[in-house]
Structure 1
Amino acid sequence: MSVTAPAGFVAAGIHAGVKQAGTPDLSLVATADGVPVPAAGVFTSNLMTAAPVTVSRSHLQASGGRAAAVILNSGNANAATGEPGCRDAELMCDLTAAELGCDRHHVLVCSTGLIGIPLPIDRIAAAIPALVAARDVRGAADAAEAIRTTDTHRKETVVRGEGFVVGAMAKGAAMLAPNMATMLAVLTTDAAAEPAVLKQILAEAVAGSFNLLDVDGCQSTNDTVLLLASGRAGPVESGALAAAVAEACRDLAGQMAGDAEGATKVVHLTVTGAHSDEDALRGARQIARSQLTKCSWYGADPYWGRVASDLGSAGIAFDPRLLSITYGEVTVCHGGVAVEHDRDALGEHMAGRHLYITADLGLGAGRASLLTNDLTHAYVDENMGTS
């Protein structure tokens, strides 16, 4: 049930005609009674900001952090569309609000798809009454299906706390880089919490999940993560709610890494022994964005020299004489040079779906981890054009 697992929420997903293939492309998550509840959002830091991001930010500010619904479309990002794009995003909110009987500022909007193409607003506008009418507690899967672009499957999760529930859905398969990814995510909870608390909880959860996902170093124009709290379960301990939201975000981020365009391997990168956590994260990002290194993972080649080279060029404190690199449980480099190791165990690890790579810089207590993937022919095929 994902976003409708927490009490007080309904959802729907239908085909509106944005996607020519006839697949679902218009989605709704709303409170069951259309009444606004505390809400919070985290958005892309890309200055090429899409219209729906601008509109959702302004609506959260105008409402004091309250929302009754989120309407989302796939197949068109409504980005780089100028003032007409902003008007279209506002109209999506206006029409949804009219159907739900709430204020326009209590509706948030998200879009995902191709950039620079005018939104087919007439088709969306005509479909909104049917979308709202279709909302149901059983509509979570349809809502998650309707936000897919190049995703190969829905991304949903449910985390059950003590006396409350967090549900979530997301999309994301490419341009996955901090801050956040080419992603949309809507989280719901039946816990009671004020907007300011939700905002802090969500920001921390995003920092520990979506912001640690780096597939291709490209940041989207539309990244949005939203959290709505119905309060049906009553007040809960803020730490427990924060832990559940963080768990839901980590689960979704892991699903995105596993479904990245063309990926055959999910790579869990950890850099330890850095002078600082910031150095460790910078080193990990240098590895994750190295096309040479990512190609070696695709070929199941434990070419640790590329990892070492990436760290040495990351602009962080580095001494090759102290470097160690481990694939799974197998250490292949110690003191900056190759060491004897179990080649069969290493080959078995490299052939797996999940690779665990740890680089110890030997300089301090700094540590960072992130998720990435391999680079394959399929990634190139997927991204050669827009058609």
Structure 2
Amino acid sequence: MSVTAAQGFEAAGVAVGLKSTGKPDVAVVVNRGPLRTAAAVFTSNRAKANPILWSQRAVQDGVAEAIVLNSGGANCFTGAFGFQTTHQTAERAAELLGVSAGDILVCSTGLIGTGDEAFRAKVLAGVERGIAGLSADGGEAASLAIMTTDSRPKRAVQSRDGWTVGGMAKGAGMLAPGLATMLVVITTDAVVDAAQADAALRHAAKYSFDRLDSDGCMSTNDQVTLMASGASGVAPGPDEFRAALTAVCQSLAEQLQQDAEGASHDITIDVEHAATEDDAVEVGRSVARNNLFKAAVFGGDPNWGRVLAAIGTTTAVFDPYDVDVWMNGVRVCTAGRPDRPRDEVDLSPRATRVLIDLRSGNARATILTNDLTHDYVHENSAYSS
């Protein structure tokens, strides 16, 4: 049930014609309390969509009554009209729920640079229909309504002693740190205050969504929102809550990776024995963004030379002639020299694992990415047509 797995939440997903397919395209998630705790993290892209600009302000007080999400239009670079549309979306939801518009968060996803009176009317109609159709088992419908090029919804739930964390996500391309082309809503019935929610969410995002780098492209609309109702009456310790939240975020990040547009391989890049964690992340990300390496994986070629060439572009501390590389369990390079024959590496499974040992320290990090395929190029060559 994703976002309605936790007590105190209702949700809905409705179709109002934003998508040409006629599928659900507006989702509403409402926190019925008793707490209305909220935290969010946003894209670090300087080019931000109107809903991001709104939500960044609205969540500053650590309170949110509800969140409205639409697919079928990003409402980005749509000028004053677009920001007014976001404002009216929040106002309409607030009016129907009997709360302040400043406590309504808004998210949008879809094509950049489109938006007119018809778009606005459909979004507002979706708010009305969504709120009228709210239910405690509406999480599944909501997770379907936020999909764009996704082939399947992404949902995750973690239950502990008397309390639950549940979440939904959308995203299938432009997956890069800060955050990805994704919308994520996470709910919990645990008793947490705004400071605890914010700290836990930032930690969880750092070790999940910010380690997902499918194609090196960063979106304008990324938002991860956490809402806490406190309906369970249970106040978990900070470490326990952070662990459950991180598990949900990591599951959703892996589901995003596995549904990346056109991908035929899900690549996990483990970097070990780095001087610092930042070094490990930088090295892993350099490989995740290397198109030559990603194309080689697509072609079934264990070209480890491209791994070394990629990590050599970083500022991380290591000796490039003292690095080991494994591909799917086979050490193909040791101390900067060939090791096992390439034909021992089987790249036919979808799950692909690359291990890079920098021999420079005790830090590590894992980066998730995908291969570069014909289907990815085809799908993104005509996205707006």
C-alpha contact (below 8 Å) 1:110/1:184 kept by paired residues: yes
Q: How far is the alpha carbon of 1:343 from its aligned partner?
A: 3.9
Matched, 1:130 2:129: yes
Query: Which SS does the other structure have where 2:231 is aligned?
Result: strand
How far apart, CA to CA, are the structure 1 residues paired with 2:342 and 2:256?
32
Matched, 1:229 2:228: yes
2:141 — aligned with what? 142
How far apart, CA to CA, are the structure 2 residues paired with 1:382 and 1:342?
31
Matched, 1:339 2:339: yes
1:381 equivalent among 369, 378, 384: 378
1:279 — aligned with what? 279
Q: How far is the alpha carbon of 1:316 from its aligned partner?
A: 2.8
RMSD: 1.4
Question: Residue type matched to 2:109 in 1?
Answer: T
Q: 1:231-246 alignment to 2 at 5 Å? A: 231-234=230-233, 235-246=235-246
* 1:304-342: CA deviation from partner (whole Å, max 9, x where unpaired): 111011111223334232111011221111111111358
1:367 equivalent among 364, 367, 376: 364
Question: Residue type matched to 1:306 in 2?
Answer: R
C-alpha contact (below 8 Å) 1:312/1:318 kept by paired residues: no
Question: Residue type matched to 1:67 in 2?
Answer: A
Q: 1:22-41 alignment to 2 at 5 Å? A: 22-32=22-32, 37-41=36-40
Query: Which SS does the other structure have where 1:232 is aligned?
Result: coil
Query: Which SS does the other structure have where 2:124 is aligned?
Result: helix
Q: 1:167-246 alignment to 2 at 5 Å? A: 167-234=166-233, 235-246=235-246
Question: Residue type matched to 1:197 in 2?
Answer: Q
**Runs in 1 of length 4+ with deviation above 6 angstroms?**
none
1:159 — aligned with what? 158
How far apart, CA to CA, are the structure 1 residues paired with 2:272 and 2:368?
15
* 1:330-371: CA deviation from partner (whole Å, max 9, x where unpaired): 111111111135844x22xx1111111111122222322110
Name stretches of at least 5 consecutive residues in structure 1 with no aligned partner.
Answer: none
Question: Residue type matched to 1:159 in 2?
Answer: Q
Question: Residue type matched to 2:22 in 1?
Answer: G
Question: Residue type matched to 1:280 in 2?
Answer: A
* 1:256-311: CA deviation from partner (whole Å, max 9, x where unpaired): 00000001111110122333222221111111001110011111211111101111
How far apart, CA to CA, are the structure 1 residues paired with 2:319 and 2:39?
43
Matched, 1:66 2:63: yes
* 1:118-156: CA deviation from partner (whole Å, max 9, x where unpaired): 151012212322111111111111100000011000000
How far apart, CA to CA, are the structure 2 residues paired with 1:24 and 1:153?
13
* TM-score, L = length of structure 1: 0.96
How far apart, CA to CA, are the structure 2 residues paired with 1:335 and 1:125?
61
Inter-CA distance 342–54: structure 2 relative to 1 (3 Å threshold): closer
Question: Residue type matched to 1:248 in 2?
Answer: V
C-alpha contact (below 8 Å) 1:4/1:137 kept by paired residues: yes
C-alpha contact (below 8 Å) 2:4/2:136 kept by paired residues: yes
C-alpha contact (below 8 Å) 1:322/1:363 kept by paired residues: no
* 1:102-127: CA deviation from partner (whole Å, max 9, x where unpaired): 11111110000111111510122123
Name stretches of at least 5 consecutive residues in structure 2 with no aligned partner.
Answer: none
* TM-score, L = length of structure 2: 0.96
Matched, 1:87 2:102: no
Q: How many residues align?
A: 381
Comparing 18-27 with 148-157, which one deviates more in the overlay?
Answer: 18-27
C-alpha contact (below 8 Å) 2:28/2:127 kept by paired residues: no
How far apart, CA to CA, are the structure 1 residues paired with 2:142 and 2:333?
47
How far apart, CA to CA, are the structure 2 residues paired with 1:340 and 1:220?
40
How far apart, CA to CA, are the structure 1 residues paired with 2:30 and 2:185?
11
